[in-house]
Amino acid sequence: MKKKILIISGGISKERAISLDTGRQVAKELKKNGYRIKITEPNYKLFSTIKSFKPKVIFNALHGQFGEDGYIQTILESTGIPYTHSGVISSALAMDKEISKKIFIKNNIKTPKFFCYSFNLSKNNLIKKIDRKIKFPVVIKPLNEGSSVNVFICNKSNILRKLKLLREYRKIIIEEFIPGREIQAAIIGSKKLGAIELKPKRKFYDYQAKYNPRAKTKHIIPVDLTKNEYNQLMIIALKAHKILKCNGVTRSDFKFFENKFYLLEVNTQPGMTKLSLVPEIAAYKKISFIRLIELLLKNAIKIK
């Protein structure tokens, strides 16, 4: 009998449904391959579940706030049990779009121009600041959400209306809109896994384009890049993975425009659903779903 694996999924973030789907599909694949599996929520019963089940590894299938921002990682550190994906600091840095973008800039990684906004400027002053620093159109998004939750492309005529939808957040990012191709690159361990291009039928690769099959986003693999362009893309993705000191798998989101790659963000907990990109990239590289999961288990963070 293979080792016991505890899968944590669900949670209270806006990505709960995706997390549950990731948890179910990972559990199904592991069970099929002889592992003893238990799925649990990250609730008040978590410690007692860990104590009674005694897993060899904890698979973190959480997405969004409290799942990939260092919060659950801090809790898991206290158990002494190895857990998948990135650790506390790496998760927190990657999830905070302001901090991670500053790190990219410091390390000469191209990223769209931006500034943070705390709803403290008058409407006229905000628009003047955008005109001065960035130019319209712009992208507005929360500082620490994933899966393109509450991300909007705005122009002068709709930005104030869209900003009202983000009032629940203390601070948001206002970012230069890069109109280029949507390309994602995956790293596992310290190796370059591969890349995929996305052609959404919607305005951009938003939450619906990612998770609604009816959105009919086109997935293109291999990506139509020259060898030099592809190498450049994967070098940047690996560099970002390393400077954030990430563990396991990451998926970096890029825009490719006028022969330049712009890194938007690094995702430390990519989805493992039927529409998820990392399993698709892995499959193209002849890495089965179970092999991909086992690589994540093998790379689980060992608690000292």
Number of C-beta neighbours around residue 190 at 10 A:
11
251, 252, 262, 276: the catalytic one is: 251
Mean pLDDT, range 136-163, rounded to an integer: 85
13, 91, 144, 147: the catalytic one is: 147
15, 29, 41, 175: the catalytic one is: 15
Q: How far apart are alpha carbons 286 and 219 in whole angstroms?
A: 17
Task: Let me know if 229 is a catalytic residue.
Answer: no
| pLDDT > 60? residue 154 | yes
Task: Let me know if 265 is a catalytic residue.
Answer: yes
Residue 263's nearest CA partner among 85, 112, 60, 132 is 112
| pLDDT > 70? residue 91 | yes
Q: Where does the chain hold its CATH 3.40.50.20 domain(s)?
A: 4-85
Mean pLDDT, range 189-209, rounded to an integer: 76
**Residue of 161 and 29 predicted with greater confidence:** 29
35, 253, 262, 276: the catalytic one is: 253
Mean pLDDT of the chain: 91
Task: Let me know if 267 is a catalytic residue.
Answer: yes
pLDDT for position 97: 94
Task: Let me know if 205 is a catalytic residue.
Answer: no
Q: Where does the chain hold its CATH 3.30.1490.20 domain(s)?
A: 114-176
Residue 120's nearest CA partner among 177, 174, 65 is 174
**Residue of 276 and 5 predicted with greater confidence:** 5
Mean pLDDT, range 202-227, rounded to an integer: 70
| pLDDT > 90? residue 124 | no
pLDDT for position 42: 96
Q: CATH topology for 93-110+179-298?
A: D-amino Acid Aminotransferase; Chain A, domain 1 (3.30.470)
Number of C-beta neighbours around residue 1 at 10 A:
6
Task: Let me know if 147 is a catalytic residue.
Answer: yes
Mean pLDDT, range 161-167, rounded to an integer: 86
Q: How far apart are alpha carbons 98 and 19 in whole angstroms?
A: 24
19, 150, 265, 276: the catalytic one is: 265
9, 19, 144, 267: the catalytic one is: 267
35, 117, 211, 262: the catalytic one is: 211
Residue 209 — very low, low, confident or very high, per pLDDT cuts 50/70/90? very low
| pLDDT > 60? residue 267 | yes
9, 248, 271, 276: the catalytic one is: 271
Q: CATH topology for 4-85?
A: Rossmann fold (3.40.50)
Task: Let me know if 68 is a catalytic residue.
Answer: no
pLDDT for position 203: 55
Residue type, position 137, single letter: P
The top-level CATH class assigned to 114-176 is: alpha beta
Sign of CA dihedral 168, 169, 170, 174: negative
